[in-house]
Amino acid sequence: MICPLSPAHFAGLGAFQLFALLLFLDARLAPLPLAAFVIASLSAPFFPRLGYFLPIVSRGDKGRDGVAITFDDGPDPAVTPGLLDLLDRHGVPATFFMIGEKAERHPDVVRAVLARGHEICNHSQRHDPFLMLKSGGVLRREIAGAQAAFARFGVVPVAFRPPVGITNSRLWRVLLENGMFCVNYSCRALDFGNRRFEGLAGRVLGTVKNRDIVALHDVTPRGGDVSKLLGEFESLLEGLKSRGINVVPLSRLIGKEVMARGASGAEASPAGRFYDGLAETYDAEQFGSAVGISRRTEQKLFRERLPELFDPSSRVLEIGAGTGIFTLEIARQCREVVAVDLSAKMLAILERKAADGHVTNIETLAGNIENIALTGLFDGACAFLVFEYIADLPAFLKHLAPRIRPGGTLYFITARRSFFRLFTQIGNAVRQGLWLKARSRREVERMLSAAGFDRIDVRTHLMKSVVSGGILLEVSARRSGETRVSG
């Protein structure tokens, strides 16, 4: 399901198409698009804000105020402890992009960073400046090695900053495999790893803007004058304060978590990590962006069907409940709802909503629905644009069917394969790195029938035309046959 499309893929495709076209028009010009593609691919890694090979977070989200201060290349026992005291005095949060092997050598400093409430992110295991010239295997080992080092402190970084900010075409897939994303910067002191730190504060204050991610280093400067370096940091913090620029945590500035506590990165899926990061802003994104038309259509369709789907005695399974966009309405109609989602952080938001609304009949389960342990039988199940994430949907439906009582209803809305849907699939692959499967009406009917469902009703909705026939499938089916499930 991992499909890390990037602008580089489309640039390459476009270059080859232009090459083929120019062969017929003027063969002398044909090599030019290919040459331009090669030059762009060789140059792009050296622009830390350019998302050519992968999405890169380098500034805060629009509408957010403040700047985030980040420190690379530590921890350093000579610099980091004094820096922590300085940050405490000014009440300023920071994010430390640490090197794995340094974290292993200086565990007390790492614990101090965490104890003071700062964030830790991955800056590779050894900080090889030529890492992006190495193989994908080396890149995987560098990232995984640092992740293992930080796991010993009970944290799993979600954000990765490559050494010297350089990226390559292999990084996107490796990060996806680890459920991570890339964070670079929009403002730096040009301190060359504190080899040129004199005047650092002035250089940053001369260029810093709202929503900037500032890149600094917590490493011993050339000559070993740590007090002078800390003085530059203090001048910077005082300068930001005098200008009314707030320093906020990186996670708040970008609207995504950059570090998880007490979690195993190996157990986290790319989709789960992706949605953990979006949890706090998910509802606003779903209804305030281009996908809002799809969500509003889903809600309208679901509300029209809800009275006939479930009754007050029903026990319902909701697959991919997320932040509870549909869950609370289901719960008010039913006896009990078991809400399952990959993202524990989304479910925590759902639980808060339920508590605020005095809804007490929702049980949440965090995990992959394809292998999570479910107990008891359900009178119905539902899902909303979730089945696209399931690689083998026919097998999953056969696994799900015995959990639904005979006569129970499975209701879901899913992506319909069509000309227009293809563009949203490509857009999702570029943004999220995952290829979401869309299916035809006949495919859905066949897999439901094979899983033991009857009275199958499939309707198409949204952007219906002669060309597309709609991009959503609304599906309801009844569970047929007898069921024998213990537990």
Give this prediction's pTM.
0.83
Q: What is the mean pLDDT of the chain?
A: 91
How much is the average pLDDT of 348-363?
Answer: 96
Cα(320)–Cα(382) distance, integer angstroms: 9
Cα(97)–Cα(165) distance, integer angstroms: 12
- Answer whether 226's CB lies under 8 Å from 79's CB: yes
Backbone angles phi, psi at 397, to 5 degrees: -65, -35
Where among 237, 263, 289 does a domain terminate?
263
pLDDT tens digits, one per residue of 208-263: 999 999 999 999 998 889 999 999 999 999 999 999 999 999 999 998 889 987 65
Amino acid at 203: R
Q: Are residues 242 and 291 in the same domain?
A: no
Q: Are residues 127 and 29 in the same domain?
A: no
Cα angle: 154, vertex 155, 157; to 5 degrees? 160
Cα angle: 95, vertex 102, 44; to 5 degrees? 60
Q: Are residues 38 and 59 in the same domain?
A: no
pLDDT number for residue 485: 43
In-domain check, residue 274: no
Domain count, the chain: 3
pLDDT tens digits, one per residue of 232-242: 999 999 999 99
Q: Are residues 407 and 428 in the same domain?
A: yes
Angle between helices 226-242 and 80-90 (to 10 degrees): 20
What CATH number does residue 165 fall under? Answer: 3.20.20.370
E strands present in 123-227? 155-157, 159-160, 181-183, 187-188, 213-217
DSSP reduced 3-state for 214? strand
pLDDT tens digits, one per residue of 77-122: 999 999 999 999 999 999 999 999 999 999 999 999 999 999 999 9
Q: Are residues 349 and 214 in the same domain?
A: no
pLDDT band at 277 (very low <50, low <70, confident <90, very high): confident
Backbone angles phi, psi at 204, to 5 degrees: -70, -45
In-domain check, residue 88: yes
- Helices H, strands E: what count in the chain? 18, 17
pLDDT tens digits, one per residue of 320-337: 999 999 999 999 999 999
In-domain check, residue 114: yes
- Answer whether 73's CB lies under 8 Å from 216's CB: no
In-domain check, residue 1: no
* Residue 88, Cβ density class (10 Å: 0-12 exposed, 13-18 middle, ≥19 buried): exposed
What CATH number does residue 355 fall under? Answer: 3.40.50.150
| Whether residue 313 has pLDDT greater than 90 | yes
Q: Are residues 308 and 242 in the same domain?
A: no
pLDDT number for residue 266: 39
Residues 6+ apart with CB under 8 A from 150: 98, 100, 103, 110, 120, 122, 156, 157
Cα(209)–Cα(252) distance, integer angstroms: 16
In-domain check, residue 91: yes
Q: Are residues 286 and 204 in the same domain?
A: no
Cα(247)–Cα(210) distance, integer angstroms: 10
Give residue for tokens 């991992």.
Answer: 2
Q: Are residues 162 and 255 in the same domain?
A: yes
pLDDT number for residue 174: 94
pLDDT number for residue 389: 87
| Whether residue 264 has pLDDT greater than 60 | no
Cα(319)–Cα(368) distance, integer angstroms: 10
Residues 6+ apart with CB under 8 A from 321: 327, 339, 340, 341, 346, 347, 350, 364
Q: Are residues 290 and 311 in the same domain?
A: yes
DSSP H helical ranges for 178-261: 200-205, 226-242, 250-254
Q: Are residues 253 and 300 in the same domain?
A: no
Cα(322)–Cα(346) distance, integer angstroms: 5
Range of the domain at 32: 7-45
DSSP string, 311-354: -TT-EEEEET-TTTTTHHHHHHHSSEEEEEES-HHHHHHHHHHH
Where among 205, 236, 263 does a domain terminate?
263
Where among 216, 236, 263 does a domain terminate?
263
pLDDT number for residue 413: 96
pLDDT band at 283 (very low <50, low <70, confident <90, very high): confident
Cα(185)–Cα(282) distance, integer angstroms: 24
- Residue 148, number of CB atoms within 10 A of its CB: 14
Whole-number Cα distances in Å, 157 to 11, 182, 248, 282: 31, 11, 18, 21
DSSP reduced 3-state for 101? helix
Q: Are residues 224 and 293 in the same domain?
A: no
In-domain check, residue 130: yes
pLDDT band at 69 (very low <50, low <70, confident <90, very high): very high
pLDDT band at 468 (very low <50, low <70, confident <90, very high): low
pLDDT number for residue 138: 96
Q: Are residues 196 and 291 in the same domain?
A: no
In-domain check, residue 484: no
In-domain check, residue 275: no
pLDDT tens digits, one per residue of 178-197: 889 999 999 999 899 999 99
Catalytic residues, by residue number, are: 72, 217
pLDDT band at 288 (very low <50, low <70, confident <90, very high): confident
CA 471 and chain centroid, separation: 24
- Answer whether 181's CB lies under 8 Å from 256's CB: yes
